[in-house]
Structure formats: structure tokens, C-alpha cells
Amino acid sequence: MSENYFEINNLSVGYNKKALIEDICFDIKRGEIVTLIGPNGAGKSTILKSITRQLEIINGNVVLDGGNLKDLSFKELAVKMAVVLTERIKTELMTCYDIVATGRYPYTGRLGILSYEDQEKVEAALAAVHATELGGRDFSAISDGQRQRVLLARAICQEPDAIILDEPTSFLDVKYKLELLSILRGMAKENNITVIMSLHEIDLAQKISDKIVCVKGDRIYRYGKPEEIFDEETIKGLYEIDNGFFDPLYGSIELPRPEGEPKTMVISSSGKGIKTYRMLQKENTPFIAGILYPGDTDYQLARLLATEIIEEKPFCAISESAIEKARTAMKQCERVIYAGADIGTYNKEILDLVEEARKEGKLEEY
């Protein structure tokens, strides 16, 4: 049993024999969570559909558990792989239990009648997604989030080695996004099920995946561990963000900084300035932030939103040059906002700055 569950070699995928994406090469181990990210229409779904054989592979091959994907019969594939798709399914008079029960199809007999064991597995799958009470309800009468969970239960019920999901969190609100992803993580780590999915929420992708595949243009843009992939430059290039930022540290997305000559200054530390920065950004007021130490929470955000930062080396006393810079800055500003700071032995000078501002009548305090 090779270590790799999936081996994707020089794969080309596309529609109508025209390749959309070529030369896809990567390997996936058992129990790994691999996420495809990339802009809309890049071809994430195309790749997933090719892996699940909904779409014909144009070139290259996919090796699954040691065997070529093309050589497997549909039935054999069903035991190895289960899917959760984005498309809305139209069902008539089917309960959630029925839907989940279809996952047992590769295992039931000629007429598809469920054995006692099968029934237990269905119940277990529903329990795993916390949807037990939905069992008897009509599938078309529940919310999108509940539907998604039921479909995941269906995939779990199929007892596959791998689950492929195409944007499974698209219709879900925050609570269910988290729940779904944590279920997936549990399946991967505890049951050794390989998870391959595509996500729009790159912050979530960063946090849950073992490997990331960036899909853009006609190739795989980058492939690797989240730590390797998630830096600002890569994400900016992948999504061609020119109107904001992605902060890989927290996995957060920020709107662009206000443009123009700053006439406002914010003095703060230890995260107290964040609220003010956001408020100024919403006002579209450019500002200067200081005096901040790199590593301070305020610094993290200021570097994205502030036009200029006045900083000092971490854990050092505030130097003269820093104070001078700060005074210069204050002179050109009309407004000085003191958002609060933790004052310690080495940054008493901040209070001086605040006093000066007060004397000049520019101070606003919160």
C-alpha cells in the first residue's frame, strides 16, 4: 500500500476535448485534507469533476489507491470515492433519511433494500453531522445549510476512502461552515478519509487544509502546505487583488487603505487602536499611526490601513528619532486621536505626545 492515495500525473482537464488546465501534478496521502482555491471559473470544479469521472480526462492519468482511475468500474469507484456537489438536487417526496440511505447503494443487494446494519450506518452518519432530528423530514423542505449536512452524511454513509466536495460551504452561515469543516477534519484525522475540496473562503482553507492547490489560468499556480502558500504576495497574485489585502497571519481580508495626504494621527498600542483604524477607514480618512512596535496587534492592522507608521524596534525604549518623527507628523495633522495605550517603563514618551496634542487643541480622546 503506497503512501500516496491519489497520484495525479500530468493531468489535463477541460470540456469537449479542449484542455482548460494542463500539466496538473500532485500527490495526496491518505487522510489528508487538500483544498483547491482560486478565482471563479478558474477550473476548480473542472478538476474535481475529472477526478470523480463526471468529466472525461483529456490527458494524463489519475492513480487511485494503486489503480488507474480509468480502469475502475463505476461500482468499484463508488466504494472508494463519495461526492458532495454544489448543484441543487430536486427531489420529490424523499426524506433526509432516504437521501442518506442512498449512500449504501454500493453495498446493498439487487433491489437496494437496506439491511439492519445498513440502517445503523445511516443513523450513525446522520448523527455524525448532527442531523438526527432531520431524518424524517422532507429533503426539499429544509434549509440549505441543513441540506448540505444531510448530503455530507450521505457521503459519509457511503464509507468511502475519499470524499470529494465542491464548494461545500457556499450556502452555509458561519456556524454551519465551522461545523461542516470540523466534521471533515474529524473524518480525515480519525477515520483516515482523504478529503479533497474546493473552497471560496481562503481563510478557512488556510486553517483546515494539509495541502493547498492554487488553480489559476491554465496551470496549477502553486501547490504546497498552507504555510508555504499563504503569503500576501501569492494570494494577491492568485486572485489578482488590487483592491484590498489578504492578511495571511490571521487569514483576514481587508479593504484598501484610504488614499491621500494624512491629516489625522492615531496614537495607541496593544490593539486599542484597531477600532479607530477601522472607523477612519470607513470614513475614508487617511491617517498616520504611531508609535508602534512591530508585533503589536495594532501594528499588524496599521501596516495595511495606515498611510504611515512611526515605529520603534521591539522591546526597546522609544528613541529620540522616533519622537521627532512623531512630532513632525503631529504638526502636519489637524486631528490627533488617542485611542488608549498600555504605558510602561519604556514608552512613557507617548504620553508626552498626547499632552502636546492637547495643548495644540488637536486631541480627541476615547
**Chain residues that interact with another protein, rule: CB under 8 A:** 52-54, 73-75, 77-79, 81-83, 85, 87, 89-95, 97-99, 102-103, 105-106, 108, 110-113, 119, 123, 127, 132, 135-136, 140, 158
Which residues have C-beta within 8 Å of that of residue 254, sequence separation ≥ 6? 244, 245, 246, 247, 301, 304, 305
Taking the least distance from each CB to another protein, the nearer of 17 and 110 is 110
Taking the least distance from each CB to another protein, the nearer of 119 and 284 is 119
Taking the least distance from each CB to another protein, the nearer of 94 and 142 is 94
Least distance (Å) from another protein to the CB of residue 68?
15
Least distance (Å) from another protein to the CB of residue 181?
21
Cell numbers 496593544 correspond to 270
Taking the least distance from each CB to another protein, the nearer of 165 and 330 is 165
Least distance (Å) from another protein to the CB of residue 202?
26
Taking the least distance from each CB to another protein, the nearer of 19 and 78 is 78
Distance CA 115, CA 72 (A): 26
Distance CA 234, CA 238 (A): 6
Q: Is residue 273 within a helix (H) or strand (E), and if so which, with residue range?
A: none
Query: Residue 290, Cβ neighbours under 10 Å: how many?
Result: 28
Least distance (Å) from another protein to the CB of residue 146?
16
Cα 43 to the center of its chain, rounded Å = 17
Query: Is residue 164 helix, strand or coil?
Result: strand
Least distance (Å) from another protein to the CB of residue 115?
13
Distance CA 212, CA 228 (A): 9
Taking the least distance from each CB to another protein, the nearer of 97 and 239 is 97
Q: What angle do CA 245, 202, 7 make, to 5 degrees?
A: 135
Taking the least distance from each CB to another protein, the nearer of 105 and 171 is 105
Least distance (Å) from another protein to the CB of residue 139?
9
Residue pair 16/178 in contact (Cβ under 8 Å)? The answer is: no
Taking the least distance from each CB to another protein, the nearer of 113 and 174 is 113
Least distance (Å) from another protein to the CB of residue 186?
18
Least distance (Å) from another protein to the CB of residue 105?
4
Residue pair 96/150 in contact (Cβ under 8 Å)? The answer is: yes
> Which alpha helices (DSSP H) does the chain contain, by range?
44-51, 74-80, 96-101, 116-128, 144-157, 174-191, 202-208, 226-229, 232-239, 274-283, 297-305, 320-332, 349-359
Q: For residue 291, say if its preceding peptide bond is cis, omega within 30 degrees of 0.
A: yes
Least distance (Å) from another protein to the CB of residue 168?
14
C-alpha cell at 203: 481563510
Taking the least distance from each CB to another protein, the nearer of 91 and 270 is 91
